[in-house]
Structure 1
Amino acid sequence: MSSAVTWIDIPANSPFGPDNLPLGVFRLDDEEPRVGAAIGDHIIDLAPVASAQMLNGSQLFARPSLNDFLALGRPAWRATRDWLFDLVRNPNDRDAVEPHLIPQSAVTMQLPFTVGDYVDFYASEHHATNLGRLFRPDSEPLLPNWKHLPVGYHGRAGTIVASGTDIVRPSGQRKAPDATAPTYGPSQRLDIEVELGYVVGTPSTLGTPIPVDAFEEHVYGVVLVNDWSARDLQAWEYVPLGPFLGKSFATSISPWVISLDALSASAVPLPPQDPPVLPYLAGQKLQNYDITFEVLLNGHRVSSPQYKETYWSPAQMLAHMTVNGASVRTGDLYASGTISGPGKDQRGSFIELTWGGREPLLVDGKEHTFLEDGDEITITAWATGSDGSRLGLGEVVGTIRPA
């Protein structure tokens, strides 16, 4: 990004240019965690800058979570983004900001917000079709309800962890197809799920559904999600009530929350929805985002899913999640489910990439199916900024440790 746009020196390949300005929570040495904004290779320590400029609500940036800021609602979110724009663009603000620029390499990033409820959807038609073909090869791949509603389940918020947290291989019951009884032990089919997560800011009232066109009034922004999955535990337990221990042991999210306003230039129309949706899932602002993901296994690229292919929009997911009167709270997180595209190299899980383990990937001279102890998974993503530059969503990283 050129210095003509901002007085801050930003590397040419930085995911965090002056149009992005994502918010996160960082810890410097033994100081208390607090809120910062990413710009290039640095973080703006927002609390002292906002306090010196007597910004209304400046004390919220000194807190160890974004929740209080998220609860302020969209007018405050936009006012804060305008203030950040001015800080990084106006040379007159340099003296006030520069002493509070901290190298990202000097801090430890924290979980950016305290998660309330966590809901995981199943919104990618390519992913759902792939799993249907794997699990029900003699039947239609999509179940009858799939194109009528965004299928989802309520997950465990307490095991959502920050990027960089090691993932201990889960143990549980699993039953091989040719076995007469289940056994207990470490998962042998540990997997990833590449997802996009939506962060709720403005809560809703119990008993009042959120219409699809009110999506932007309630959702602040997005994070990257890796919903780790123990496929062997999941296969044995999920009938008849759905995912449980095969999913609940850990879900990793990226440290930076990218605002919907920053993503606005990457908005694209939904793929065609046929049959037509019921009226509560129809609206004027239904859209997806043109976001490219990249999956690295031990530093080697194995997949690049495309979010724009996703069948159900985030507004429809939120509308369906609340249509029965369920409320949302500040800090609630809901995720897209695994993002997969039409190509083999666009699949967002190893169960798809290796077709149930039957078609191993050759990575660095070694065959891989499901995750092994010591494997490191890095998921990155980027969209297109308003000036045509790459707008990064950061990364989410996790390393598998033995059971």
Structure 2
Amino acid sequence: MRIGIDETHDPARTSWVVSANGHGDFPIQNLPLGVFSPDEGEPRIGAAIGDDILDLRALADEGLMPEATKKALYSRTLNALFALPGDARNDLRKQLSALLSDEAHRRAVTPMLYRAEACVMYLPAVIGDYTDFYVGIHHANNVGRLFRPDNPLLPNYKHVPIGYHGRASSVRPSGVPVIRPRGQRKPPDAENPVYAATERLDYELELGIWIGAGNELGDPIAISEAGRHIAGFCLLNDWSARDFQAWEYQPLGPFLAKNFHSTVSPWVITAEALAPFRTAQPQRTNGDPVPLPYLWNDKDQASGGLGIELSVSLSSAAMRKADLPAFLLGKGPASNMYWTAAQIVTHHASNGCNLQPGDLLGTGTISTPDDSGLGSLLELSRGGSQPVELPNGETRTFLVDGDHVIMKANAKAEGFVSIGFGSCHAEVLPAHT
């Protein structure tokens, strides 16, 4: 299947769901998928439309959904829907767009709408495996300079998409609080490590990639086919305990510093919805190595980038008590990814690793080359040496208990209606004693 622009992206298309028209995140041109429960009801699959959620199981009950997707819509997760061919998901999108734009369907469909603010959101899928990459080149440079000022990027960075396997069991949907983790860290002036709560808790601003169709064990995914294995995208906050990380990461890399909690936005922005927002991948600078052939595809370079702007804000407990708005810490484009989503998927499976529907891949922290859009406090505070000042006079080098971190993203392109990702947020709670 080749994802293209069709009538569902028409900027003139409006919905009889009034709140969708002009909505900052969920106009009719978006129609993201998620798992929700209304009131005390059971979890079921829904689509966001304006301030409401449309119950897709109810639509299936009434025979209003395409036959190819009907069985998958009775599931409590999106895994079965992810596993379907892209054409089937695209037909579902077209049917939803038609139902929500044609006034003739208002009476039949209105009873299947629920106010989003009254619903509970869940993880979109059962995550079999979670892998986090490191493709934000400016983040890699910024962090590298803190530890290796003369050689911030390691020699392999521009040859291979770097990643590590995370912990799927601790991924949680937006809104679930983060409990400050305890672990082993070694203070700079101490002879031996201690076991205690982290003092350098940080966020990481990332995109998440949801895997659709999988591949058989031993069967790599060609980069020309990688797109059909991507079901959609979300926001991802891969929380980090930087003091644990500094002590434990050699020689095997991240472990307890990363596996205590990762937050995802609950709505899956489908690959089909993002078709108008595909951009050319930024050209590599002169002198950069040409990737090995299995990682290179001209079409992917021409349209494998993402026209998405990401932001991260912080609201302290004191700010909320004083009714102050969240403070914008940074904003920047997804074009700061050195490798495309297709290259990430292809490399992951290049050794024959089998990806499965519902697997989650993180891009790694996406930062700007300047201070305008740094994706972590580690970068903003220069490793803790330069505190960040909040509007009420508080300062931060790393997160304190009560801090609420909010991430957002919007896809924009001239001539099309902007679509958003919703919010990816969580509050930091004290460590358990």
Measure the CA separation in 1 of the matches of 2:138 and 2:13.
42
Q: Which residue of 2 aligns with 1:158?
A: 169
* Structure 1 residue 386 displacement after superposition: 7.7
* Structure 1 residue 302 displacement after superposition: 1.1
Which letter maps to 1:41? Answer: D
Measure the CA separation in 1 of the matches of 2:13 and 2:153.
51
* Structure 1 residue 12 displacement after superposition: 2.9
> Once structures 1 and 2 are overlaid, which stretch shifts more, 176-185 or 219-228?
176-185
* Structure 1 residue 3 displacement after superposition: 9.0
Would the alpha carbon gap of residues 7 and 13 (structure 1) be closer, same or farther in structure 2, given more than 3 Å must change? closer
CA contact (8 A) 2:406 2:424 kept: yes
Q: Which residue of 1 aligns with 2:35?
A: 25
**Which of 262, 269, 282 does residue 258 from structure 1 map onto?**
269
Gaps of 5+ in 1: none
Q: Which residue of 2 aligns with 1:402?
A: 430
* Structure 1 residue 97 displacement after superposition: 1.1
| Cα deviation 1:102-130 (Å, max 9, x = unaligned) | 11111011111111110100001100000
> Once structures 1 and 2 are overlaid, which stretch shifts more, 172-181 or 199-208?
172-181
| Cα deviation 1:339-386 (Å, max 9, x = unaligned) | 001120210000001111111111121111100001000101101268
| Cα deviation 1:36-90 (Å, max 9, x = unaligned) | 1001001111111122125314243232211111111211111111111111112
Measure the CA separation in 1 of the matches of 2:266 and 2:94.
22
**Which of 16, 22, 36 does residue 46 from structure 2 map onto?**
36
> Once structures 1 and 2 are overlaid, which stretch shifts more, 48-57 or 269-278?
48-57
Which letter maps to 1:329? Answer: Q
**What SS class does the counterpart of residue 18 from structure 1 fall into?**
coil
CA contact (8 A) 2:307 2:413 kept: no
Q: Which residue of 2 aligns with 1:285?
A: 300
Measure the CA separation in 1 of the matches of 2:310 and 2:13.
29
> Once structures 1 and 2 are overlaid, which stretch shifts more, 118-127 or 90-99?
90-99
Q: Which residue of 1 aligns with 2:340?
A: 313
CA contact (8 A) 2:11 2:415 kept: no
**Which of 313, 337, 362 does residue 335 from structure 1 map onto?**
362
The TM-score, its normalising length taken from structure 1, stands at: 0.97
| Cα deviation 1:250-287 (Å, max 9, x = unaligned) | 00000100011111111111122321100000012232
1:276 equivalent in alignment to 2:290:
yes
CA contact (8 A) 2:44 2:74 kept: yes
Q: Which residue of 1 aligns with 2:6?
A: none
Measure the CA separation in 2 of the matches of 1:308 and 1:350.
21
CA contact (8 A) 1:262 1:385 kept: no
Q: Which residue of 2 aligns with 1:71?
A: 83
Q: Which residue of 2 aligns with 1:297?
A: 314
Gaps of 5+ in 2: 1-9, 316-325
CA contact (8 A) 2:29 2:417 kept: no
1:178 equivalent in alignment to 2:189:
yes
Measure the CA separation in 1 of the matches of 2:139 and 2:201.
17
> Once structures 1 and 2 are overlaid, which stretch shifts more, 250-259 or 76-85?
76-85
* Structure 1 residue 387 displacement after superposition: 4.5
Q: Which residue of 2 aligns with 1:97?
A: 109
Which letter maps to 1:327? Answer: N
> Equivalences for 1:119-130 in 2 at 5 Å?
119-130=131-142
Measure the CA separation in 2 of the matches of 1:276 and 1:158.
37
**What SS class does the counterpart of residue 145 from structure 2 fall into?**
helix
1:212 equivalent in alignment to 2:212:
no
* Structure 1 residue 241 displacement after superposition: 0.2
The TM-score, its normalising length taken from structure 2, stands at: 0.90
Measure the CA separation in 2 of the matches of 1:189 and 1:208.
41
Which letter maps to 2:101? Answer: R
CA contact (8 A) 1:118 1:333 kept: yes
Task: Give identity over the alignment, percent.
Answer: 42
**Which of 380, 391, 394 does residue 366 from structure 1 map onto?**
394
